Amino acid sequence: MFEVVAFYLFAALTIAMFTITVMTSQALYALTAMAAGMIFISAFFFMLGADFLGVVQIIVYTGAVMALYAFGMMFFDTTRTMVEKRENPRTIFILGVLAATLVVFIFISPIISTHLETQYPLEAASGNSQAIGMILFTKFLVPFEVAAVMLLVAMIAGIVLAGKKMDKSLTLMAEEEIALMGANEAKPDSQEGAH
Amino acid sequence: MDLAFIIETVVKIVVILLVFSALAGFGTYFERKILAFMQRRLGPMHVGPYGLLQVAADGIKLFTKEDIIPQNVVKPIFKLAPVITAATAFMAAAAIPFWPEFTVLGYTVHPIVSDINVGILYVMAVMAIGLYGPLLGGMASANKFSLISAARSAAVFISYEVITGLALLAPLMMVGSLSLIDINNYQSAGITHWIAWSQPVAFILFWIAAFAETGRTPFHLVANDHEIIDGFGTEYSGMRWGLFFIGEYANMFFISFVMALIFLGGYGDGSIAGALQLLLKVAFFFFFFLWTRAAWPDVRPDQLMWLCWKVLMPIAVLNVIVTGVVILIQTQGGM
């Protein structure tokens, strides 16, 4: 009984929140609604008994990803409403409906064709975090490591893009070039790229 | 689910809410008194004996003040932000055991709202959401200083969450469970089994990060003192502003409970003496928050970031690696 009530409550809340995110023209509403929607999604994990994933959903999406969005939004005036430029509303509508239908088919097809089965059921005795750890480091080790490498690449790329003078490599330069660069830095008025 | 369970849970929630809202109020009183004594003043003295009723006077003042919503703010978000701060602080309490289980009239009471098996992770997650209070408050305020303050506090929160998580990882590897009750029972054999002795580095790191998570001096960057305004709370008045405070003080109490439970043995074996010890430990941590405020100046934002990413994070990672190696050697030797 409780689970049914909770499911419909959180389903309605989640849909309402993401509807606000999509429909509103006020950036701050969209941000808040999306963060709230992410939290409401975690309720489904809790109802299914996947406590660990539920908490991770809150930490990763609401605590980190949305906070970083908010950080980006600090750079423009969020108290003003955005007026979007829509040149051809019909195209947007058709493309949107098509994309949504496609996503629904992608998610439904394995359920219809093979009748999804739980390959690694959680054992109540061992707890969620242990079970997830075991699966991650045995069955899904390669995707896990690939994801780690991709994150590392993204991090290095971010540092190179944001850092200053990261496009020059001191190890590939001759000694004279480095000395010249140091001399240029010492007097800031001198023209950049004289060497 | 039977009726008794529902009634019990509701009663627990109401008790926790009432006790900790009152404690948050008295927290301000303790803070003013302790700061005053450390600065050779008397602090609040006029309302009631030793100024004890000052809390009630402040409460009446906050409740009866006009609730000002300034022009140009984003109204719903502006109204919502203080509620987020207070609500997330109390939501975190759901997975904290405040007292060992006891029996009243033949009915065993577990003084924890819900013993989920990812307890500490849940507490940290909900405290992390507390970030949205200052963040949305500052962004909705239509005030440049509020916005700057919100950006600062968001940066501090996000950075120090990394430290909290990494510092927690090492003790959790030893215990092998995320439930606060299991962590407490791991140390129930006595003072020599406290995790603070086997994980001193993690303890200190978590303690430092707790100051940042609750936004207390010396990491009180949410309201930068030399701007002479109250950071993200500048545009707030009355009880909305008070809610930010209730959230902050409730957070201080809850993080004190978490620290006492994880590192200082919690309530030990579950006797009354152990439970009183837990309260003493929490009182010490709370006092330490106030003591630091009296003794230390704020650090600059860039120093804070330097401390987080260049000092604390490498130490935390090293601590995790060393713990892992030691556990590996121990289990190998045991086999």
Residue at A169: amino acid letter? S
**Among B76, B118, B124, beta carbon nearest to A51:** B118
Cβ–Cβ gap A63/B80 under 8 Å: no
How far is CA A29 from its chain centroid?
19
CA distance A151 to chain B (A): 16
Measured at the alpha carbon of residue B211, what is the angle toward residues B91 and B34, in degrees to the nearest 5? 100
Once rounded to an integer, what is the mean pLDDT over residues B138-156?
86
Q: What is the pLDDT of residues B178-214, one digit of tens each?
A: 888 888 888 888 888 888 888 999 999 999 999 988 8
pLDDT of residue A194: 45
CA distances from A98 to A8, A91, A104, A113 (A): 27, 11, 10, 22
Backbone angles phi, psi at B102, to 5 degrees: -140, 165
Cβ–Cβ gap A29/B151 under 8 Å: no
Which residues on A lie below 8 Å from B121 (Cβ)?
A: 52, 55-56, 59
| 8 Å CB contact between B265 and B89 | no
Cβ–Cβ gap A67/B158 under 8 Å: yes
Q: Is A68 on the interface with B (CB under 8 A)?
A: yes
Q: Is A64 on the interface with B (CB under 8 A)?
A: yes
d(CA B178, CA B171): 10
Hey, what are B123's tokens?
């507490």
Q: Is A4 on the interface with B (CB under 8 A)?
A: no
pLDDT of residue A186: 64
Q: What is the mean pLDDT of chain B?
A: 87
CA distance A70 to chain B (A): 8
pLDDT of residue B5: 83
pLDDT of residue B230: 79
Once rounded to an integer, what is the mean pLDDT over residues B268-287?
88
pLDDT of residue A150: 96
- Nearest CA among B113, B101, B84 for reference residue B251: B84
CA distance A152 to chain B (A): 16
Which residues on B lie below 8 Å from A31 (Cβ)?
A: 136
CA distance B75 to chain A (A): 10
Decide if B13 is inside a domain.
no
Decide if B97 is inside a domain.
yes
Q: Is B266 exposed, middle or buried (0-12, 13-18, 19+ CB in 10 A)?
A: buried
pLDDT of B335 > 90? The answer is no
Cβ–Cβ gap B126/A35 under 8 Å: no
Domain of B249?
67-334
d(CA B246, CA B332): 49
Q: Is B138 exposed, middle or buried (0-12, 13-18, 19+ CB in 10 A)?
A: buried
pLDDT of residue A190: 47
Q: Could you tell me where the DSSP H helices lie in B130-179?
A: 132-140, 144-175
CA distance A6 to chain B (A): 14
Cβ–Cβ gap B150/A74 under 8 Å: yes
Exposure on the CB side of residue B58, measured as CA atoms within 13 A: 20
Instruction: Return the DSSP state at B194.
Output: -
In this structure, of A38-47, A103-112, B14-23, B155-164, the range with the lowest mean pLDDT score is A103-112
Q: Is A57 exposed, middle or buried (0-12, 13-18, 19+ CB in 10 A)?
A: buried
Decide if B229 is inside a domain.
yes
Q: How many domains does chain B have?
A: 1
Full pLDDT tens readout for chain A, 195 residues? 788 999 999 999 999 999 999 888 888 898 899 999 999 999 998 888 888 888 889 988 888 888 888 878 877 777 777 777 778 888 888 999 999 999 998 888 877 777 767 666 666 545 667 778 888 888 889 999 999 999 999 998 888 888 777 667 777 778 887 788 777 766 555 444 444
Instruction: Return the DSSP state at B300.
Output: P
| 8 Å CB contact between B295 and B287 | no
Decide if B247 is inside a domain.
yes
d(CA A22, CA A40): 17
pLDDT of residue A193: 46
Give the 3-state DSSP-derived string for chain A, with helices as H, strands as E and coil as C. Answer: CHHHHHHHHHHHHHHHHHHHHHHCCEHHHHHHHHHHHHHHHHHHHHHCCCHHHHHHHHHHHHHHHHHHHHHHHCCCCCCCECCCCCCCHHHHHHHHHHHHHHHHHHHHHHHHHHCCCCCCCCCCCCCHHHHHHHHHHCCCHHHHHHHHHHHHHHHHHHHHHHCCCCCCCHHHCCHHHHHHHHHHHHCCCCCCCCC
Cβ–Cβ gap B142/A70 under 8 Å: no
**Among A26, A51, A58, beta carbon nearest to B117:** A51
Cβ–Cβ gap A28/B136 under 8 Å: yes
Cβ–Cβ gap A79/B74 under 8 Å: yes
Torsion of CA A91, A17, A64, A51, to 10 degrees: -120
**Among A58, A67, A129, beta carbon nearest to B154:** A67
pLDDT of residue A187: 59
Residue at B105: amino acid letter? L
Which residues on B lie below 8 Å from A47 (Cβ)?
A: none
Q: Which residue has the higher pLDDT, A171 or B238?
A: B238
Beta bridge partners of A26: A81
**Among B131, B140, B177, beta carbon nearest to A28:** B140
Which residues on B lie below 8 Å from A32 (Cβ)?
A: 77, 80, 132, 136
Decide if B220 is inside a domain.
yes
Once rounded to an integer, what is the mean pLDDT over residues B109-118?
81
pLDDT of residue A126: 52
CA distance A74 to chain B (A): 7
**Among B126, B136, B150, beta carbon nearest to A32:** B136
Q: Is A20 on the interface with B (CB under 8 A)?
A: no
| 8 Å CB contact between B211 and B219 | yes
pLDDT of residue A120: 67
Instruction: Return the DSSP state at B107.
Output: E
CA distance B85 to chain A (A): 14
Which residues on A lie below 8 Å from B151 (Cβ)?
A: 71, 74
Beta-carbon contacts of residue B156 (< 8 Å; ≥ 6 apart): B212, B215, B219, B221, B222, B301, B304
Percent of chain B with pLDDT over 70: 98
State the complex-level ipTM: 0.84
CA distance B156 to chain A (A): 12
Which residues on A lie below 8 Å from B77 (Cβ)?
A: 28-29, 32
d(CA A130, CA A122): 9
Instruction: Return the DSSP state at B49.
Output: G
**Among B73, B129, B155, beta carbon nearest to A63:** B129
d(CA B111, CA B267): 12
Q: What is the pLDDT of residues B246-266, one digit of tens each?
A: 888 999 999 999 999 999 988
pLDDT of residue A195: 46
3-class SS at B43?
coil
